Structures are given as C-alpha cells and as structure tokens.
A and B are shown apart, each in its own frame.
Chain A
C-alpha cells in the first residue's frame, strides 16, 4: 500500500478550488494548492512512519485542524520530536513523488533545538493554478514531547475529494498543545496563540475536561516544563520567563489588551471554515475555561 498514491483528486479540482475560495474571501486559490501539498507531505510522513506518535508527532496549526480548529496557517507545518532528528534522514522522508504531485525538501535552517526545511518545494501536477509549483516550510522542534500523543483523522476540511484513503495522524496531545499555546502567548504575545487558546478552551469544555483535576494538574505541569525549556533558549528568553510571576500570567489571559492587542492581529488570521470569531467570544472562552483551569 505504501506506493499507492495519496491524492485522489477529480479532473476539475482547479474549478473546485476556485469556487471554494470565492466562498472564503480570506483564502486565495494558491493557498489551497499549497495546503494540499502540505497535507500530502504530512500524509506521507505518517505513512512512511516518520510521524510515528512515539518519537514524533504533528503539532501546530495542522494538528489544530485535526482537532477541527477552523484557523488555517497558509505556509508552515510543524512537528515535535522527543529525540534528536537527523536532517538528512528527514529530507529523504519528506521527499515524495506520485503522479499528481512531487515534493522535495530543500535546505535546512537550524535554530536552538529546532530545524526548519525551507523551502520544501512541490510540483502539484494536478493543478494549473499559479501555485502549482511553489513551496512551504516544515519545522521539527526537538524540545521533547511531554504527554502521550493521540490519533486523529488528517482532516483537510475541503468539500471536494482529496485523499485516496483516510489517514490517521498522530498529533500532539491537546493538553500539551494548550500548554504550548499558553506559554507562547505569555512569552511572545501573538494573536493566533490567544485565538488557539480560546479554541482549545471550548474543546475542553465540550467534554467538561476543564473541570477535571487530573487535566488541570497535567496542563499546569506541562506549562512549567515548557517554560523551563524556553528559559534555556537564550538570556532574553530566560528574562521573559522570569518576568512571568503568577499575577502577570493571569493578567495576560484576563486582560489581553494590556499584554498586546490581539484585536489588531486577529484581522490577519485566515480561517478555513466559518467566520472569524469575535474578540468577545474568544475572551469569554479564555475567561470561562482557561483561567479557572490554571488558577483556581
């Protein structure tokens, strides 16, 4: 089965993409073509065992989509590893060729416990749209995995046929994703992180997990672990972690405009499905589910 094509698109896929984008004004057809290439890349990494759920998991925006988040990143992909990754092996694992698409990993950028293939180049043979030959990036963080991964269907969320078969992807545990997002919001203050925290709050609340003492304990523990990992990245990071006294942590969630102004950054986010959530909705979720989870 390993050599079977991943993609199963219809001949009028370009028309389907164009029609889809007309109904979703924040998306351009080239974003969708690139997104399909990223989905194939992830599917291939699952199929060839690179994303195995034990040493490496899908995280970031693509993992959030598997949890049915409507927000869409348009260029990056993220994975997390609990063992050191070998760039050459990864490059081979990323490279993929089937009749409808070819993917090749380009040069690697190395950061502190993070490597990024940029660009990952693809040729989408199924498309005549401008992004049929384009690129995206794929990052692999080597900062550990704290909780057992979960498996979710790789959800593309497009209304047209795309994958030849369902792919079950190992994704970072949602509690760990939440901890990462909270730490990122506290330290760096991007609107996308506040938005994702609110989404994960609603997800926990749907099954009352936000009230579960074990969930609270785990999330709080992972947050502390992630903060300590961040503090080791640089002196600047360490200073920012040390500034996060308890009252400051809480204020950055309950009064996001004091930390930064996420309203402004929200205008730039892309959403695959549904409307952009209002700031009021987002803040309500954070106040109602996340703040008690962390501070009660």
Chain B
C-alpha cells in the first residue's frame, strides 16, 4: 500500500477537524471552515484522500485515518457506515450482519446489510461500497427504526444496529437478507440454547413489523420451547387470517408440507430441517 503523505494544508485541515470533534468530514456541513483552506474544498478533500490523508467514504464524506494507517482495513467498518448513512435519515445494520455481530452464527461476511428509511438511489440502485465492503441495502417505509422496535445505538464505534431479539424477528420478516434458511435458523438455535431469547420482546417487535411476521414468530417460538409465552404475548387477532402464511418468504411455497394450524403457518421449509438447525444449538 502507498504511504500516507500530508501537505501543510492537509495537516491544518485535520487539526481543525479534530478540534471540532469530527471523526468524519462531511463536505456539505463543513464547507464554511473548509473554504478557509481552499477555494475548491471538494477537490482539496479528494486530493487529500488520494494521498492517504483522508479516507473517502462516499457522498462527500471523508474519514480521518490514524497517522501511518491509511489502509481502509484499519478503520472499523461500523464507523464508516455510520458516517455515510446517519445524516441521510433512519438506518440500521441488521440481518446477516447483525446475526454475526451478535455471535449467533460462526460466520464471516465481506459485505454489510443495512435497512434504510430514506430514498437514495446511489445506495439502492447499485451495489454501493463503503470502506472496502459492499453494502447490501434494503429500503423500508415502515416505522421500524426506533429503539421501541429494537434498533439500538451501539457505542465505540457508534452505529445503529438491530438488537439481538429484533435480529431474530427480522429473520422471519426478510429471510433473504440472512444468506440462507440454515443460517438464520442456526442463529435462532444458538439463542435458544444459550437462553438469550426474550419471548415477550420478540413478540412485541413482531407486532411492530406486523403482517404475517407475528404468526411466523409464534410458530418459531413454539418450536423453540417458548410456546406458552408466544400464546401469551401475541394477541389472538394475529391468527385471524384467511390465508395460511409460508414460514419462509424466499423459499418456494409447497402444498405437501406440514401446517402449524394454531399459528396458521405452512412449513414450506420442512419442519424437520428447521428443527434440526435450531436443535444444534452451538
């Protein structure tokens, strides 16, 4: 990798940013003070990034690297994601990424999966890259980004992430963002065997997501040894549905499979498979 080079102006810009408690320079917000160092701040920041004095995050945002560590690998990806997304609006890191972050599966993922609550075609229309990681973005207009629905602000580095219970619920909302059914079901299993499931919270989050999610959560909780809690915390109205729901959205619907008649959920991935992955528990 090429070594960092700092001009006197680079050093002054970084010192000023530090004095302003900025870990990330945002061109739009920092334009007034950046203009003191250059008539064309945008070009100046790009040149600084070219010298390794800054790290380009995207959308006019530049992270400040440590001295001697210009490679993007030295930056926590969470910090770069937060820098890129937080000023646009609601977002959270979730799905497979959160399943890994919560140590519910023993996997590595070279990309980051996030949900955003704002329109941004540069993020959703093409495979965006932040900090050397590809970004897998899903947009939702639902009110699902609040702490009440299980989105927590993690500190050091600061970023928004789905908490453990919400991550489990999200698997039954958008399973295609979890890699495979085996992956999220194994995560459920580890949560069960380590006593990490808070059934009341899981049910509350399921109600926030609505639709067929509460019924799927009910079926999964029942399979996981939490049937009494599922029946207690999920209102009976969620079961008053004309149509039987598939347990897993992105798997083919099948007619020759077991149905959980209480939760009105069809095991379009055979119950035996799901039970095996959950039962593994490690």
Contacts and interface: CB of A to CB of B under 8 A. Distances in A.
Given A73-B106, A188-B277, A190-B186, A268 B179 contact: yes
Interface in B188-235: 193-195
A184 B186 CA distance: 13
B107 A74 contact: yes
A251 to B, nearest CB: 13
Specify which of A109, A130, A184 lies most central, judged by the most chain B CB atoms within 10 Å of its CB. Answer: A130
A236 B282 contact: no
Given A25-B110, A264-B180, A264-B181, A189 B76 contact: no
B88 interface: no
Name the interface size band of chain A. Answer: 35 or more
Contacts of B75: 130
Contacts of A27: 108
Interface of A: 14-15, 17-18, 21, 25-29, 31, 73-76, 109, 111, 114, 116, 118-119, 128-130, 135, 137, 139, 184, 187-191, 234, 236-237, 240, 259-260, 264-265, 267-270
B41 interface: no
B77 interface: yes
B117 interface: no
A189 B180 contact: no
Interface residues of B, number: 31
Interface of B: 1, 66, 69, 71, 73-77, 103, 106-108, 110, 179-183, 186, 193-195, 273, 275-277, 279-282
A111 B77 CA distance: 34
Contact of A267 (B73, B179, B193, B195): B179
A240 B180 contact: no
Specify which of B106, B280, B281 lies most central, judged by the most chain A CB atoms within 10 Å of its CB. Answer: B106
B181 A137 contact: no
Nearest to A262: B182
A128 B182 contact: no
Contacts of A76: 106, 282
28 contacts: A14-B73, A21-B73, A25-B110, A26-B108, A26-B110, A74-B107, A75-B106, A75-B107, A76-B106, A129-B74, A135-B103, A184-B280, A187-B279, A187-B280, A188-B279, A189-B276, A190-B277, A190-B280, A191-B182, A240-B275, A240-B276, A240-B279, A260-B273, A264-B181, A265-B182, A267-B179, A267-B180, A268-B179
B106 A74 contact: yes
A128 B74 contact: yes
Contacts of A267: 179-180
Contacts of B186: 190
Contacts of B195: 109
Given A118-B194, A190-B182, A265-B183, A128 B69 contact: yes
Nearest to A133: B156
A31 B73 CA distance: 12
